[in-house]
Amino acid sequence: MTSLVPLPVILPLLGTGATLMLFRFPRAQRIVSALVLTAVVVVAAVLLVSVDRDGTQVVWLGGWEGLGIALVADRLAVLMLLVSAVVTLAVLLYSIGQGITGDERETPVSIYHPTFLTLVAGVSNAFLAGDLFNLFVSFEMLLFSSYVLLTLGGTAARVRAGTIYVVVNVVSSMLFLIALATTYAAVGTLNLAQVAERLDGLPPSVALMIQLLLLVTFAIKAAVFPLSLWLPDSYPTAPAPVTAVFAGLLTKVGVYAIIRTQTLLFPDSPLSTLLMVAALLTMVIGILGAIAQSDIKRMLSFTLVSHIGYMIFGVGLATEAGTGGAVFYVAHHITIQTALFLVVGLIERRAGSTALLRLGGLARLSPLLGVLFFVPAMNLAGIPPMSGFLGKVDLFQAGVAQGSPLALVLVAGGTLTSLLTLYAVAKTWALAFWRSPQQAHDMARLLVGHGEEDRREQDEQAVPAMVEHRGHVHVGSVAFGAADLDEARQVADADAPDRDLHQLIEAGALPDRLPLLMVLPTAGLVLASLAITVVAGPLVGYTDRAAADLTDRDSYVGAVMDGVPR
């Protein structure tokens, strides 16, 4: 089965070439992309079974054992491969149903498929990389394909967001290059197994410097606080399928790199306390940001940051149970976060906006959309017995077992974050799905001083009291800032072209139905998130075995260096 190991990288790259040659034939591009990603799903599934049964599989490209590029498929790598392959296939089908960006007339969509497949190849290569330089190459593949995908359509907002993304990631790449140079100068190799063997012979200060450089680099990719400020401004402006795959996968590549290097290179890390403090701040500050948002995309972007904290919590514990909990949470969160962003794309398609100010009555307008949002939202919040609840319990048990005061504080912080996540998604549900479109429209008018006469004629309970404070208007528990007030003025202005959901319904301007090829992949991912709950027992067993492999670095080193002259 070792011959299958390079295929998750090679197949998307071959697909990239094929779709480039077929740039004049969009239908052929779609067929090639779908076939390639389906093949990657099959290969990843076969590898998962094979590696779990037979152990870690290693391929030295070109047969240059000890000198060439090593691809290593262990339990962690193939689990990430399978989850990412399923998610990217669902996102591809969704984007085909949507028409890539929704504004094809201005967008050169012929570049979408080659770029998307390059992104998939970069993700797969990152998971299989057996040396730091190959991991760096993977990150660069992600960077240039991400920039193209972020700026599809070339709108001012997307170019601005893409510029922020590129600047942050170029800084990260420079740090990574410095880390590579430092590591090579210190130990004479970049192969992870060889670095693991030789780091023990270095002075502690040199090893600590290498660890800090790698940790900061990967923390930027993973959006760990305080290196996460770029993310909420970069992701929401991209087309829905692009945002979904970025939110679901790209930050997890950074988390994966942290798990890999911390367990393999620095098992007795002196930075565990620092990681746990960063995890706590990431969780709490991220979710406080989510609560303050009045747009569903931005709210989900902040929850994405917040829940990265759970994974870093598991890594920071530096125990087998904590690592197993982190691996399970990564697999769960990739599926949930991608599904939620796809649902947000459906909301935008159906109602014309994701701003809470413009939305209301979606549950009545589209009950299926309500179900597709409600299920993963409750899963994200950790409602029993869903996989989000099981993942958090797994991490909390590991924290209690570790028993340090900081670990117990993190358990409390994780519980608080879970409750605040529930509050954030429940608020979104109440405003976007539960209240009527008329109530949303009235609130927008009242925010900017319109409709006072109407207000006196209404039931006072229908529209909550408003309080102005430091440039914000608070309506019940929701705060609206200057940008929201500008949006409210557009809604209230009868001559403005922008309409809210109530006005679209009154004008009969809503689409009759959502495209089936957008709904089916979204529903499939929601069902997959529920399936994780159903198979949680076997999956937890698998992630525990993966954690045992990670904490026994001799097994990884032995598999990679078997037959290689030392």
pLDDT band of residue 487 (cuts 50, 70, 90) is confident
Quote the pTM value. Answer: 0.92
Judged on CB neighbours under 10 Å (0-12, 13-18, 19+), 452 is exposed
**pLDDT for the residue 141:** 92
Residue type, 368: L
**pLDDT for the residue 255:** 95
468 SS3 class: strand
For the stretch 374-407, pLDDT in tens is: 999 999 999 998 999 999 999 999 999 998 999 9
**pLDDT for the residue 159:** 80
Task: Reply yes or no on whether the pLDDT at 1 is more than 80.
Answer: no
**pLDDT for the residue 147:** 83
CA distances from 477 to 58, 293, 415, 447 (A): 54, 11, 21, 14
What are the tokens at 359?
Answer: 């939305």
pLDDT band of residue 100 (cuts 50, 70, 90) is low
For the stretch 289-324, pLDDT in tens is: 999 888 899 999 999 999 999 999 999 999 999 999
Q: Are 243 and 308 in contact (CB under 8 A)?
A: no
For residues 19-48, give the mean pLDDT. 94
Q: What is the mean pLDDT of the chain?
A: 87
pLDDT band of residue 471 (cuts 50, 70, 90) is low
For residues 414-429, give the mean pLDDT. 95
103 SS3 class: coil
Residue 354 domain-assigned (yes or no): yes
**pLDDT for the residue 469:** 63
For the stretch 276-289, pLDDT in tens is: 999 999 999 999 99
Residue type, 525: L
For residues 366-373, give the mean pLDDT. 93
Cβ neighbours of 401 (radius 10 Å): 12
Looking at per-residue confidence, does 566 or 409 come out higher? 409
Looking at per-residue confidence, does 195 or 447 come out higher? 195
**pLDDT for the residue 107:** 54
Task: Reply yes or no on whether the pLDDT at 326 is more than 70.
Answer: yes
CA distance 443 to 322: 46
Task: Reply yes or no on whether the pLDDT at 474 is more than 80.
Answer: no
Residue 129 domain-assigned (yes or no): no
Residue 555 domain-assigned (yes or no): no
**pLDDT for the residue 31:** 94
What are the tokens at 227?
Answer: 């290196």
For the stretch 538-566, pLDDT in tens is: 999 999 999 999 998 888 999 998 777 66
For residues 491-513, give the mean pLDDT. 73
**pLDDT for the residue 333:** 94
478 SS3 class: strand
Q: How many domains does the chain have?
A: 1
Distance separating the N- and C-terminal Cα atoms of the chain: 26
Looking at per-residue confidence, does 128 or 238 come out higher? 128
Task: Reply yes or no on whether the pLDDT at 499 is more than 90.
Answer: no
Residue 412 domain-assigned (yes or no): yes
**pLDDT for the residue 104:** 52
Task: Reply yes or no on whether the pLDDT at 17 is more than 80.
Answer: yes
CA distances from 24 to 109, 325, 332 (A): 10, 47, 38
Choice among 280-289, 466-475, 481-490 with the minimum mean pLDDT:
466-475
Task: Reply yes or no on whether the pLDDT at 489 is more than 70.
Answer: yes
**pLDDT for the residue 162:** 78
CA distance 352 to 31: 29
Query: In this structure, what is the dihedral angle of CA atoms 363, 367, 371, 374, given to the nearest 10 degrees?
Result: 0
**pLDDT for the residue 292:** 87
Q: Which domain holds residue 439?
A: 270-449+469-493
For the stretch 524-542, pLDDT in tens is: 999 999 999 999 899 999 9
**pLDDT for the residue 542:** 95
Percentage above 90 pLDDT, the chain:
58
**pLDDT for the residue 102:** 52
**pLDDT for the residue 477:** 59
For the stretch 160-203, pLDDT in tens is: 777 888 888 889 999 999 999 999 999 999 999 999 999 988 99
Residue 257 domain-assigned (yes or no): no
CA distance 211 to 204: 10
**pLDDT for the residue 370:** 93
**pLDDT for the residue 450:** 61
**pLDDT for the residue 87:** 95
Residue 210 domain-assigned (yes or no): no
